[in-house]
Structure 1
C-alpha cells in the first residue's frame, strides 16, 4: 500500500473533527519517532498480525502491510501524557466520495439557490432550486457569461461586485436584490445574495460560488413594520382634520398603494361629534385628500356616491369585488372608526399589473386606519375645544355708562388657539371710579379657560365690596386655591396658578391704586412722554406663594396712559424694554394708536388693555366740611338743595335730603372728625359721599316694630339705587347713588 493513500490529519478528535471510524480507539498508536507503541485486539483481527510482531517497528513497515481495500486515517491522539502520539484508524468510506455526495445533495435538494462560476464569470453549474425559482432551463444559461444569462430575462447582475470578490477573495454577503422572476412575474421577489471565492488544493482561485436565498416574506414583514413606524411618526403632526387626511395619503403613496383616497363625513369635516350611522343608512362622505397615479380620483371637497366603497360601508378592512382587471386584488377599503364613532373610509389602490394585496396587507391597512382614526379624533377634540375657548375668550368689552367719564379704553385680543386663559375687564365702581383688570391662568387648555371664567366672575364679585386692589388680590388668591382643591385630579388643576393686575382710577383726584400678582405687563405713560415701564415689579402668582402682592399708589395728570397686558406663556418671551418704551413713548398718540403699537410686540393669545385717564370737571363736583355736631345736619341739607337747584338735576329732592340727613347723622354720631360731604353729578345718577376718620363701618339693621331707631340705613337703602362703604386711609366713606329722573 502507498502511503499517499493515508489521510493524515494533524487534529484532535476531541475538537469536533473526530476520525471517521467505527470506534474512538485507534487500531494502533505511533510515537513521535514513528515507532508502533500499541497494537489493539481489533488490529490483530483486522490485520491478522500479533502485537509482538508489530510493537517497536516503524510506521512505514506497518503501513506497507495494510490491506489495499480501503483508506486509512492517521491523526494525533489527544490527552496523552506521554507527548505526541499518533493513531491509525480505518476510514469507513472514501472521503472524496463523501464530499461529492454532499455536494450532490446540496445541488439537488437545497432550498438555497447555488451558482458556480469560473474565473471568466461563466456559469458552469447551477442547482435545481435556482432554475425553478427563475423559470429557466439549464441548457439556456450554463456555459454562458452570467451577466448575459440572467440579464436577458430581466434579472440584474452586478459584474463589478463579482470581479471584486474574485480579485480580493473577500466575500460579499447578504446583498438584497429585487426582481420579478419569470416563474412568478406578478410578484416581486427579494433575494439575499452572497458571493464567495473557491480554490483548488494549491490555493489557486477557481472561480466563484453565488448563493441566493428567497427572503421575500422576511423583508416584506420588515417593510410593513417600518411603514407602521412611519405612520406613527408622520400622521397626526397637526391637530387639523384636513392635514391629517393629507398626511395619510403622503405616507402610504407609493409605499403601500399607487393611489389613495380619504373620505370623511360632513360632520367630521366641520368639527362636529361623529356617531355611527343608523342601520340601513349611509352617511354623506366628502373627499378629504387624494394622491397617486390615478388621474380619475375626485377633487377635495367633492361629495362621493354612497356605493363607491361597496354596497355597505365596511366595518373592517376588506377587498372589494374585483373590477375589470380580473380577480386580482388591487384595492383595499378600510373604515376610519374609533370607539364606536364612524369618521370615514380610506381607499387604497394599486395599478393594473402591480402585485396584488394579501391578507397581511389587510392587517397592515387596519393598523394604518386605526392610527389615522385616533389622530382624527384628537383633531376633532381640539377643534371643539378651540371653538369653546374662542367663544369664552371673545366676549365684548362692556362700556359702562360711567366708565367713559373716567377712562377712554382700547382693547386687543387675537385668539391663537393655544387655550391660554387670558381676560380683561373694565368695571364701574362707586364714586365714578373705574377698575381695570388684566389676568391670565398659567396652565393652557380648556380647563384653564373655565378657571379663567370663574376667576373673572370672582373679580367682579369682589369689586362690589370696594376693596383696595391688594386686598382684592389676596381674596382672589384664596379663591384660586379653592378652585384648585375642587378640581378633579385628572384635570391637573391642583397646580392652578394665575397672574392678575388690578388698577383702580379715581377721576376726581387722578389717583390710581394698582396691585399685581405674577408677571403681567403694566406701564404708565404721562403726558410729558415719561414712561414707567414697571411700576409694580414681579410678585407671587395667585395660587402659588400668596400675599403680600405688589402694590403702588400714584396721582397722575389727566390724559395719562395706562397699559396692561396679560403675562407671556411659560415658553414665550415678552417684548424688550426698549421696544416697549419706543411703542409707548409717544404721548401725542391716541389710545388706539398706542394699542396698535403695543399689540405688534405681543404674541397671540395675550390680551391688551390701554386706558387714557380723564378727570371729572369741577362743575360736576361739590365738597364741603361738616362740623361734628348734630346742628350741622340742617345746613348740610340746605347746601345740598341749593347745589341741586344750581345744577338743575331732575332728581327727587326729598329722597336726596333724607339720604344726606341719615349719612351725615351717622357720621356725626358714630364717626370721627373731620367729616366731609361730597356730591358728584353723573349722567344717570347723583352720588352722595360722607367721609369721616372712624374705621368702624355702619351696617344695616332690621328694626322691630317697637324700636325707636335703627331705620336710617334701611330708609337710605329703599330710596337710593345702591349704597356702600369703602375704606380710605384711616377712615371710611359711606356713599349712596340716587337715580335721576329718566335714567334707565
Structure 2
C-alpha cells in the first residue's frame, strides 16, 4: 500500500467520519458499518491479532496518526506509514481517545482556545471564568504568561514542536498554592499544508516535581552540611542549604549547655533551658545571632523540645503563641512569615536544639510532605552537630593542654634577648619552645615538634618538654641531651596502643638544642630531625650554622646526634624553627629569607610581627614556630678565672681570690662566707680526687656561680658520713649550702659547679 494513503478520519469525540478502502481491506469493516461509530469499538478484534494483514498488503502495515484542523474542529487522520507495528498503532488510538490525565487544547493562530479534548471536560484545567475563546497562556501568571506566549509563537513560526516544558506558577481552583504543569506545543496544518494553529497538551506534574525537588534538597543537605569543624559552622551550613530552596528564612537555636561542651539534657527539656541562636539566613540581616535567652514557654518551640515531634503551623496576625514570645514575633513580622515548621535537632532521643523554617506570602505554604523534608534535614544536621561537639570537646582539651604546657613567652635571660613566633595548629599541635637558664650564665634554646595534631600530640609534647627540663638540670651537652631525650621518645612511642596514633603513623618528633655561653661567646648546637639554625651576624651577613644533621626522635636505629660548637659574636641573632619555618624562612633558598634582612639591628618582636602574616599565609603543613635570640656578652669584670696548683695550697689560694673578688663585686658577708666555704670544698675535692690542670671560675650574673675544673673524668658523689668518720662530708656540706650544684663533662675533664643568689645590692 502506498505510504500516505488515508485509512481513517476521526472527529474530536472519537467517532469515525471517514473510512477509506484501505481501512476496509485492513480491518475488515465496511464504510457503512464504520462511519458514525466510535473508533475504539472497531479496534479490539483487530488489536488482538498480532499480524494484521489484508489482500495486497505487506506482511506488517504501518500507520501514522496526525491531528489536523478541519473548519473549527480538530480531526485525527490515520495514514499509511512505514516501519510500524499495526497492533501498536491500534493501542495508540485506544489511549488517545480514552480519558487520560493529559489535557489537549486546540489553539488558533492568535493562541485562543477553540476546542478542548474530552480529557479536559469536567476537570479544572482552566481557571474559573476562562471560557473557550480566551488565550491559552492566560492559564499562567503574568511572568509565565509572557514566556509561554513567546514559546507558542515560536512553534507557530518554525513548526518545531516543544515537548515537556515545565511551567510553574499555575493557579488551579480548589487546589492550594501554585501548580506545576508539563506543557507541549505542536503546530496544526490543514490538508494543503497551511498553518491552522497549535495543539497544546498540558498535564499537572506538581506532585512529581515536588517529590523530585524534595529528594534533591535532602541530597544537597547531606552533601553540604557537615564540613565545618565547629558547631556554628555546621549550623550555618544547614541554613545555607535550606534557604531559599526550602524556606525564605531559617533559624537554628542550640541548647547552651551543648555549646559549652556538656551532655544534652534529658527530654522533656526543662522550661528554663537557655537557647543560643547559632545561625540565621533570611531577608532580615538584623537577626541577633549569638544571643542567648531562655526558651519561651507555651510555644511550638517548647512543645517540640518536650516531645521531639516537629510542628507545621500557619501564622496569622492573631496567632496566640506570638504573645508569649514578643522578640520572635517582631522577627516574624519583619520577615513577613505566614507558614512555619519547627523541627527538633535530636539524636538518640536527646535534644540538641530546635530549627525554625519560615515561608512568607510570596511562596506556597508548607505542607505535610515538607514536614518530612524538614525532619530529615534536621536529623542529618543533628548527627553533624553531635560529631562536631565531640570534636570540639577534644579540640578544647588539646588546645588547653598545649596552652598550659607551653610558656606564654620566652623566659627572660641576662645573656640573651629572646622573642618567639608561634602559629598553633587549629586542632592543637605538638610544637614547643623553651629558654632554660643553665649554670655559668649560659642559656639553652630549645625548639621541638611532635608529628601530628590533637590530644596525643599535645600530651607527647608536654612529656618531652618535661623530660628536656629534667635533662637540662643535669647540665648535659646538647648531643647527650638529645640522646637521652630520644630514649624517652622511643619508650613513649612503644607505649602507645595501635589505635592511639592517627592513620597508624609511628610517633616521631624533632628537636633542636642550642646552648649559648656568654663568657666564651660560643654556641653548641645539636639537631634531631630539624635543619640547622641560622645566624645573622652584627655586620648584617647571615649563614646557616654548620651542624651535622641528626635523625628524628624515636626513629629506631638512627643515633647518635652530633653536635657542633661555633663562635657567635655579641649582637648576633640566632634563629631556630620547626620544619616549615626552616623550609620557608631559614633555608638559603627559602622564599621568606629576605624578611630577615636587617635582623642584626631591628627589634626581635618587630621581626616576628613582620614574618608572622607571611608565614601563616604561606605554610601548607606543619606547625610554624620560630625562636629568635640576640646574643649578649657577659661583662669581663663579672668573671674571675684563676689557675690553681694541684696541691693542698690550692684551697687557701682559691679562698683568698674568692673573698677579694666578692668584696669587689659588693657581695654581702653571708653570701661571701658561704661562697668561700663552697669554693674550699670544691677545690679540696678536686685536689684529692681529680687531676691537673685545676681552674677556678667565679661568674656573677643573675646567680653567683662557683666552678672548679680539673682533668679527671670521674664524677663526684655526695656521701653521708657516719659520726665517727673524719672525712666524706665536704660535698654534703656544699650541697646543703648551694641552691643547686652539678657536674659538666668536657672532652678532657669535668667542671663541678654550685650556684646561689648573688647577694648584691
Shorter chain as denominator, the TM-score bin is 0.7 to 0.9
Rg larger in structure: 1
Deviation at 1:213, TM superposition (A): 3.6
Cα 1:725/1:132, change in 2 over 3 Å: farther
Q: 1:668 aligns with which of 665, 687, 703?
A: 687
Could you tell me which residue of structure 2 aligns to residue 719 of structure 1? 737
* Cα offset, 1:484, TM superposition: 2.8
Match of 1:335 among 335, 344, 359: 344
Tell me what 1:580 maps to: 593
Within the alignment, does 1:442 sit opposite 2:451 as a pair?
yes
Distance 1:316 1:734 in 2: 74
1:242-289 Cα shifts (integer Å, max 9, x gaps): 4544443333222112322332334456x4435216754341224444
- Could you say what secondary structure the match of 1:461 adopts? helix
SS in 1 for 2:25: strand
1:567/1:130 CA distance change after superposition, 3 Å? farther
* 2:579 counterpart SS class: coil
Residue by residue, what CA displacement relative to the aligned partner does 1:2-45 show, whole Å, maximum 9, x if unpaired?
Answer: 98675369xxxxxxx9994998999xxxxxxxxxxxxxxxxxxx
Deviation readout 1:562-612 (Å, 9 max, x if unpaired): 223333289988796575355343533344444445445432863333222
Partner of residue 77, structure 2:
none
Offset at residue 460 of structure 1 (A):
0.8
- Structure 2 gap segments, 5+ residues each: 1-19, 28-42, 61-84, 320-336, 618-622
CA distance in 1, matches of 2:608, 2:46: 99
| Structure 1: tracts of 5 or more residues without a match | 10-16, 27-70, 79-94
> Given the superposition, is the C-alpha separation of residues 342 and 665 from structure 1 closer, same or farther in structure 2, using an over 3 Å criterion?
same
Q: Are residues 1:430 and 2:439 paired?
A: yes
Query: What is the aligned partner in structure 2 of residue 557 from structure 1?
Result: 569
1:306 Cα deviation (Å)? 1.0
Trace 1:25-104 onto structure 2 (pairs within 5 A). 74-75=56-57, 103=93
* Stretch of structure 1 that moved more, 325-334 or 427-436: 325-334
Pick closer, same or farther for the CA change 1:154–1:719 going to 2, 3 Å: closer
> Once the two structures are superposed, what CA deviation does each residue of 1:494-519 show, in whole Å capped at 9, x if it has no partner?
43333322110112211110122334
Shift of 1:160: 4.8
Match of 1:55 in 2: none
Q: Is the 8 A contact 1:274 1:342 kept in 2?
A: no
CA contact (8 A) 1:442 1:569 kept: no
Aligned partner of 1:507 in structure 2 is 518
Query: What secondary structure does 1:405 align onto?
Result: coil
Are 1:231 and 2:246 counterparts?
no
- SS of corresponding position for 2:571: coil
1:312 is matched with which residue: 303, 315, 333?
303
Q: Distance in 2 between matches of 1:18 and 1:77?
A: 20
- State the alpha-carbon separation in 1 of the partners of residues 195 and 441 from structure 2: 107
- Count the aligned residue pairs: 671
Please, what TM-score do these two structures have when normalized by structure 1?
A: 0.76
Q: CA deviation at 1:476?
A: 2.2
Matching residue within 380, 390, 403 for 1:393: 403
Query: In 2, Cα distance between the equivalents of 1:152 and 1:475?
Result: 83
Deviation of 1:318 after TM superposition, in Å, equals 1.8
**In 1, Cα distance between equivalents of 2:428 and 2:56:** 88
Corresponding residue for residue 217 of structure 1: 207
Question: Quick check: 1:284 aligned with 2:274?
Answer: yes
Change in CA separation of 1:624 and 1:341 when aligned onto 2, cut-off 3 Å: farther
**Higher deviation after alignment, 220-229 or 113-122:** 113-122
Distance 1:138 1:105 in 2: 28
Decide whether aligned partners of structure 1 residues 622 and 220 sit closer, same or farther in structure 2, where only a CA change above 3 A counts: same
CA drift at 1:305: 5.3
Could you say what secondary structure the match of 1:337 adopts? strand
Q: CA deviation at 1:691?
A: 1.6
Of 415, 428, 442, the residue aligned with 1:406 is 415
State the partner residue of 2:240: 250
Q: Which residue number corresponds to residue 190 of structure 1?
A: 180
Alignment root-mean-square deviation, CA: 4.6
1:337 positional shift: 3.3
Q: What CA deviation, in whole Å up to 9, does each residue of 1:666-688 have, x standing for no partner? A: 43344332222222234543x22
CA distance, structure 1, for counterparts of residue 459 and residue 584 of structure 2: 22
